Amino acid sequence: MACQYKNIVPWGRNFDEYQRMFDLSADELTLKILGCGDGPASFNWECHQKGGHVTSVDPLYNLTRQEIQTRIHATYKDVMAQTAGDKEKFKWDSVKSVEELGEVRMKAMSAFLDSYDEGKMSGRYIPAALPDLPFSNDAFDISLCSHFLFLYTDQLTYEFHVKAIKEMLRVSQEARIFPLLDYNAKKSPYVREIISEFKAQRIEIKKVPYEFQVGGNELLIIRKT
């Protein structure tokens, strides 16, 4: 499934959110990490500033910095309006309001934009997408996928999910996927099927110290045996 420019809605999260979503320990943050579908998140840059090693892939990185910035401004109001219209689907504790959420997201995306050209030159931002990654076997320790698999259950087939997770496990020792909910804040029906599909691997569903979507506080971890 190819992702076209017109389909991309840039929406970036920060280092603190990634650390809590994926339950990343201080030691794990020193490992070689691959972020699948990172978009304009600031996690890569912030981790790099702390001495970490993160590579991010996203079709968004086919665009220039200016094109991404234009796309952010073109879609920002619509995303915020949708969030405001669905406020009951979210928990407003660490982030208190839709307005504060906008500030947090724009701060993360601004940091990403400031790091983009250098990061792309150094190979930290690579234009690619699941389920086909341009890396050798076991190139990374951990692969992360935030707000893509399971979230778009209605748009991405079960077969796509299987191929994507197999690819994450091909290039790394373990795959971590968050959240387990679909876009309507319901647990994706694919979760149970994926657990059965990958039963030969070591599988864990773990509650994490992050919940913005109501009920969205579970992380799927699949480790190679």
Q: Residue 108: CB partners within 8 Å, gap ≥ 6? A: 12, 13, 14, 40, 41, 42
Domains detected in the chain: 5-223 (3.40.50.150)
What is the pLDDT confidence band of residue 6, given thresholds at 50, 70 and 90?
Answer: very low
Position 183 scores a pLDDT of: 86
Q: In b/e form, how buried is each residue of 175-199, taking b as 16+ CB within 10 angstroms? A: bbbbbbbbbebebbebbeebeebbe
- CA dist 171 and 190 (Å) reads 22
Angle separating helix axes 158-171 and 190-197, nearest 10 degrees: 50
pLDDT digits (tens, 9 = 90+) for 167-189: 999 999 999 999 999 988 899 99
* Tokens describing residue 47: 């981790």
pTM attached to this predicted model: 0.94
- CA dist 217 and 225 (Å) reads 25
pLDDT digits (tens, 9 = 90+) for 46-104: 999 999 999 999 999 999 999 999 999 998 899 999 999 999 999 999 999 999 999 99
Q: Is the CB of residue 132 less than 8 Å from the CB of residue 167?
A: yes
